[in-house]
Structure 1
Amino acid sequence: MNVVGGRIVRKPCYGLAEICERWGVTELDVANFVAANELTLSVVVAGLAVEKGSIEDVNDRDWCHIPDERSYLSGAADLHQSQAWATLMNGSETISSFKAEPGRYISIEARGDDAGTIVVSRERLVVRHAERLRFEAEQEVGVATASSTAAVVAPPPAARGAAPRYDWDAFWAEALVSMFQDGPPATLAEYVRRMETWFADRGEHPDSSTIKKKLSQPWRRIAPQLERRRA
């Protein structure tokens, strides 16, 4: 039930002031969580023309956008970390794209005199309901109250030397095994996608840039040998 005592207690998203009051933090605290990549902020749009597609690495350093859908976006759209940070620090930010799944993009379409951008003000920043629950669970502040419509299960207290969010030891093991089982990838981008799929099968979704950064160093040593073998 989403109504308690005549009050609506479950919303699609929550404004910045409401979030600060609920968590007992300041806007600067929120900005610091954003900078640490621990919190995703959003902006509500309605009927905004966007282009969606995939991002391909055409020659290991040149990224190409391949569109596969044009639609109208309505609801809370996630902002990139840099966009949310700039909005909090400067009061507003002009954006031309939104945060998407790894290997994907969402860009605002230019229509007529519209340059394909929108201005996001600090007052328009929101936190989606699902993101609020996720953040509270990770911060161990998700306490069941009369205003909660679903229990938030917080993880056990982190012990000293607790494991990182993702199992990178298992990641490296899989990266090595896949070389033998699936064969060497043709490009670094293919290697990244292969490991993204492995993470997705585990229900995990680290940023593709993080995966690429970890694979880049060994790839620079492997790639020349692969080229010689293909020749």
Structure 2
Amino acid sequence: MGLPPRVFYSVHEAAARWGCMIADIAGWATVGKFDIVTGISRVICGSIAVSGLVAVSTMDLLPMFRRCGTGPTTYHMRRIRPEDSAEWLTVTDPISGVPVSLADLLLRRTDVERFEDDHDLVRRIPSATGAGVTSPYDWDGMTLAVIRRIHDQGLPATQAELVAEMQDWFAQTSETGLMPDERTIRRRITPIWRTLRATST
């Protein structure tokens, strides 16, 4: 059994994944596309103690996201939003706020994947089989299986059906028992699916 999917991406990892700058990520977070989060130890916000995962206000930390790259890598947060809360709280103890490092600002994996789906970013994700990287999965074999399936039987009615067939293909052909998850397979198939659907309509 393989490892479960990762839970977070750092803002730097997301920027590299999407081919953008961290200033862009801060802007998208500001307009509600996703939350940027971090973890904190116990602080006091008025009469409330808060710790653990919190959302950060990118506008409060704006100098860290300068497009020119000259901003500080650490800053003090004076407002936080606890997980599963819609209310922003002001940190009253410590009075200077909560120190945070740029390297500790994160995006949830689920938000990253939803954003990619919403904005068709599949093609901008670096290939796992790039130079110097060995994938544990036979993606070339899967691509050939997709071609063979479409040649012999045509396109299935839905992309989900094709993804399910490729999951079965991995289960039948993997020598190690390792299988990519459904979302990873779908990312590989989506460009093929969209191209073929566009040419068939």
Greater strand fraction, Structure 1 or Structure 2: 1
The alignment's TM-score, normalised by the length of structure 1, stands at 0.43
Structure 2-normalised TM-score? 0.48
